[in-house]
Structures are given as C-alpha cells and as structure tokens.
Structure 1
Amino acid sequence: MSLKFCNSTENIRGGVNCPSKLHLSAPLPFVGQKRMFARRFIDIIKQYPAGTVFVDLFGGSGLLSHITKYHHPRARVIYNDFDNYRRRIANIPRTNALLQSIRPIASEFPRNKLITGVARDRIIDVITREERDYGYVDYITLSASLLFSMKYRTSLEALRKEGFYNRIRQTDYPICSDYLSGLEIVSCDYMELFEHYKDTPGVVFLVDPPYLFTEAGTYSESWRLADYLDVLTVLAGHNFIYFTSDKSSIIELCEWMGRHQSMGSPFERCLRADFNASMNFNAHYTDIMLFTPPQ
C-alpha cells in the first residue's frame, strides 16, 4: 500500500502554514492523548534544529504533531491519522448540534446520575436519527458525555449496551479549523511510514503506540504483545520520543534485553520523564516519556 497524503487545513503565521493557536490538549476526547506531557514535550521538541523532519508514527489525536508544528513552523511534520481524527474535527458542528438535542433530555436527571426509562430511549432515538439522516456520529465524543470512566464506544450497537449518565458537556466544542494546519497527513500502517522516512537526514520519530496491558478499544486495530515488540525495531539507530506507562512491561523487558549483550536495549541512550496520571478515583498509573537527547 502506497502512502496517501492528505491536504491539511492552512493558516498563515509568519509566512508559513501552521496553527495560529497552541492547543495543550486535543480538541475532542481521545484515549491516550498526551495533554499531561504537553509542556514537557514542548521543552524537548524546541531543542531540535529547524531542519528536523518529525514523523508522528501513531498520530492519534494529532496533539504531538500540532504542538511540534506550532513550535517548528518551518519544519516538515508528518501526522499519521490512522484513526481518522480529522473527520471528527470536521464534524464538530454536527457533534455540537447532536449534544444540544440530547442536553435537555439528560437534564431531567441530576448531574452524573443514571439516565433511565423513557429518557434513555429518547436519547437513543436522537442518536439513531442522526446516524440515519446524516450518516455519521462521533461516538467517542458522545461517549464522553454519556459514559463514565473513559469508557468510550465506537458504534450505536456498543453504546446501547451501556448505562447512560448525565455527564453532558454544557458548552459547545470550539471549532478548531486550523488545529491541523501545515501538517502532512497520511493514513497508513506505522511500519510503512517508518520505512518511507527511516533514511531521511535529521528525522525524529514520535512514537506513541497504544499502551501494553491498557484499554485500546477505540483504536482501529487490536494489539498483541508481538505488535508492541515490533515497535521497538524502529527505535534502534534513530532519534525518537517514545511514550509508555508503568502498566506496560516494555521497559522492564528492555532492561532485561540490555543485560544480555547480544540483544541490547533501545533505551540505553535515552533520558526519561514521568508523569503521575489517573483514569478515575481509584485507578492510577505513571505515564513515561523516553527520548534521545537532541543533538
């Protein structure tokens, strides 16, 4: 499969195409977005020279690519939008209208309380009509207003099986027309993208795969242990910024590899930054960012 580049939105700042406003979190909900790491990521990304080519292998919400382009407006930043986040961005007006239709129904119940009976049926009817008449519903964003504990669902069938709660966002999502400005957008397997750019001078790979042993239900493909190990093969010999968590055993595995000289660890030359995070009141973990020192 050949790489297919999409045109990003364009905003002119300082004579180049780039975002006019810096976002420190993704404009729409996304599992695993790096908002907690945003400022530390900025500190690192600003140290790379102007001619660097940044390749975001697991683009996700586009937050890392967006931040990179904002601080390196003249750099090439390639964003792998494998999960079609750009479609969600384009449909923010429709999503806002859908939430506006659901909001008065949900308000019949106290905030954060279970929505039951006829009201629940009415909400399902509103969503069903939206999908039938318009052909698209951003179920991940909708999940954030109806479900608890980051329990995102991606279809009406899956959503029907869940209890609904009055967690409806009270204001519209802002229209972010230039959030992806200046990015070179592709949608392909990360390894194909890596092969395309691995020999590019000055390339830096942004590597944020779905975390091992954590919820990856909103991603377009399921991930096995072998898939996570395959990701490590792109790190050797390249500059990169890699994300994982203490819920994963990847770092422990690589330390074991490092003790066996025939294998070695891809993280031997890395610096590390940690951030304590939580999914809810009783589920906590540590996000980890490993990066090769900018030259």
Structure 2
Amino acid sequence: MRKQYLSAPLPFQGQKRMLAKEFIKVLEEFPDGTTFVDLFGGSGLLSHIAKYRKPNSKVVYNDFDGYRQRLEALPVTNLILAELREITADIPRNKPIRGKARDRVLSCINKYERKGYVDYITLSSSIMFSMKYATCFADLQKSTLYNNVRATDYPQCRDYLEGLTVTSCDYKELFGQYKDVPNVVFFVDPPYLSTDAGTYKMYWKLADYLDVLTVLKGHRFIYFTSNKSSILELCDWMGKNRTVGNPFENCRKVEVNAQMNYSSRYTDMMLFKRN
C-alpha cells in the first residue's frame, strides 16, 4: 500500500510539514477531480499529499529547485553518510569536526563530487550546525563542520512523487499554462518575505513577492506565508490606501555603499524631489 508522507523525506528549507494535517482538511473543500497546480513545488510535499488524498485529480508539481535529483541521488547520499559515520565515530555528537577528521570529511565528499552529483543540502543536516545549509563544496570548505551525522540511512521513497505531473519552469510560465483551465486550484508557497531563501535557486526581491499576488486574483488558491513576513500587513495597508500610488515616482535616487564588518554590507539610499 502506498505510504502517505506528512513530511518531506529529505531536508528542505520551508517544507510545510507543520501544516500538513491542516492542509489535508482544506483539501477536503475541493472535490476529487479538481486540478491542483503547485506553482512553487519545493519538496513536493503539498503535491504528494494532494495526490494521495485526491487520487483522481491531476496534480502538477513544479520542481524548480531540483528535489527529484536529490531523491534520485539517495543511494549515493547514503554511501557518503556511511563513510562519514566511520570518520566521525570518535567525535562527540554536536561537537565541531576539526583537524584531520575535518580533512577526511572534506576529502570523502570531494571524492564523490568528482564522480558526479552530490546532494549538499541533505549532507548539510549531518555535518553543519542546525538550519545551516551548503549548496556546493566551496560552501563546506569555508564552514565550521559539526558531528550531527545521521545514524541510519535515509529510506528509499520511490512512491513519493508517484502519479504527479512533474515540470520545472518559472512559476509565471506554469500559471500561464493553467490559468484558464476549469476547476483549477493553485498552491502558492513562495519563499517567505523577510526570511532566508538561500537554498532556493532564485533570488527574491520585494517586487518578486508582490508579483506573486497577481496570480491570486480571480482564481482559487491555497496561499502560504508566516508572521515573519509582512506581506499580509502590506496588502492590508494597500487596501486601505488605494489612491496613494507610487510616492517615489519621478524621484531622484542617491546610493552609498556601506560596510559594518567583513561579512555585512548594505546600501544606504536617499530619494528626493525638487518640486
């Protein structure tokens, strides 16, 4: 019998495991046979749950971040983890990996890097501080490593994406393909405003977050955000001040680059009008 996952089988920043049970309740509002389009597919958890709960529905999973590749690389990931367990066997849990042990860890991973694809995000959860992620070998080289190596292999999950229509494209392109399809519901789970989006393949500015809102008008959707984001407060303000427009239109802008320390930089801006 096919397994229902309530959390993604591999680590993914921003997966909706805490909302999984509530998401299932919301899905019951829509009949089986509805078309569901997961615009920001991420770990595929929302798509997986939707297909499991609505087996006769078409569920489109937008794998823009390459989660499928990480699933396919599971056998290699488990091999790497087995070697890392041996290397770190004498290092206390949650303590830094230093000296020769660190060199051996990096050498092990680099060996597999030369052979092909390495899932750095999954490995990060075993050798980096909690909630810290590397996306390439260079990231690991400049990071402090910790012994959080997973004690067991990750289980195979070949049925996780079973039955899904999988694509990988810009969410606007996918929205354009399905916006006129009858009985369509969009899952809208973009990287949150004002939160770290470092493991995503796209770089998000404020305008990008606001652009997402254009897909909501006139369509059925399930939208995700958090109290770390000010997007709902911003939309509420815009709704109450509809005539403000852009107060900075036709302003002149002056920018000055500033630096607080070796790793923290920012840009000061000044905007002005003469009349």
TM-score by length of 2: 0.87
What are the Cα deviations for residues 67-98 of structure 1, in whole angstroms up to 9, with x where unaligned?
00000001000000001100111111110011
> Percent of counterpart pairs with the same letter?
61
Contact 1:207 1:243 in 2 (8 A): yes
Residues 130-161 of structure 1 deviation map (CA, whole Å, 9 limit, x = unaligned): 1112x110000000001113111100001111
Query: SS at 1:78's partner residue?
Result: strand
Higher relative contact order (CA 8 A, sep 6+): 1
- 2:33–2:54 contact (8 Å) kept in structure 1: no
Distance 1:226 1:241 in 2: 21
Q: Does 1:202 align with 2:205?
A: no
- Mapped partners of 1:51, 1:173: distance in 2: 33
Which of 172, 175, 186 is 1:191 aligned to? 172
How many residues matched?
244
Aligned with residue 80 of structure 2, among 76, 79, 98: 98
Partner residue, 1:61: 43
Distance (Å, rounded) in 2 between the aligned partners of 1:250 and 1:115: 40
1:141-190 deviation line (CA, Å, top 9, x unaligned): 00000111311110000111111111000011010001000000000000
Contact 2:112 2:118 survives alignment (8 Å): yes
The Cα shift of 1:46 comes to 2.0
TM-score scaled by length of structure 1 = 0.81
Q: Which amino acid aligns with 1:155?
A: C
One-letter code of the match for 1:151? Answer: K
CA offset digits 1:227-259 (Å, max 9, x no partner): 000000000111111111111110001111221
In the alignment, which residue of structure 1 is the partner of 2:149? 168
Matches within 5 A, 1:141-290: 141-261=122-242
Structure 1 residue 262: deviation in Å?
Answer: 6.3
Match of 1:136 among 107, 112, 117: 117
C-alpha distance in 2 between matches for 1:201 and 1:256: 32
Asked if the contact 2:36/2:58 (under 8 Å) is kept, the reply is: yes
Q: Which amino acid aligns with 1:99?
A: L
TM superposition shift of 1:51: 2.2
Distance in 2 separating the partners of 1:46 and 1:160: 47
Per-residue deviation, residues 6-30 of structure 1 (Å, max 9, x unmatched)? xxxxxxx7xxxxxx11000000000
What secondary structure does 1:244 align onto? coil
Between the aligned partners of 1:164 and 1:203, the Cα distance in structure 2 is 45
Aligned-residue CA RMSD in angstroms? 1.2
User: Is 2:8–2:43's contact at 8 Å kept on the other side of the alignment?
Assistant: yes
Match of 2:267 in 1: none
How many angstroms does 1:261 deviate by?
Answer: 4.9
2:34·2:184 contact (CA, 8 Å) conserved in 1? yes
Query: 1:107 touches 1:166 (CA, 8 Å); kept in 2?
Result: no
Paired amino acid for 1:73: P
Amino acid at match of 1:47: E
Which residue is equivalent to 1:33? Answer: 15
- What is residue 270 of structure 2 aligned with on the other side? none
Match of 1:9 in 2: none
**Residue type of the partner of 2:155?**
P
C-alpha contact (below 8 Å) 1:114/1:164 kept by paired residues: yes
Show the counterpart of 1:271: none
Query: Matched residue of 1:83: which SS?
Result: coil
Q: Is 1:121 matched with 2:106? A: no
Structure 1 residue identity aligned to 2:219: H
Does the CA contact (< 8 Å) of 1:23 and 1:63 recur in 2? yes
The aligned amino acid for 1:258 is G
- The 1-side partners of 2:89 and 2:209 are apart by 43
Q: Distance between the aligned counterparts of 2:237 and 2:202, measured in 1?
A: 28
Q: Which deviations, in whole Å up to 9, do the C-alpha atoms of 1:184-232 show, x marking residues without a partner?
A: 0000000010011011111100000001111111111110000000000
* Moved segments of 4+, more than 2 Å: 260-263
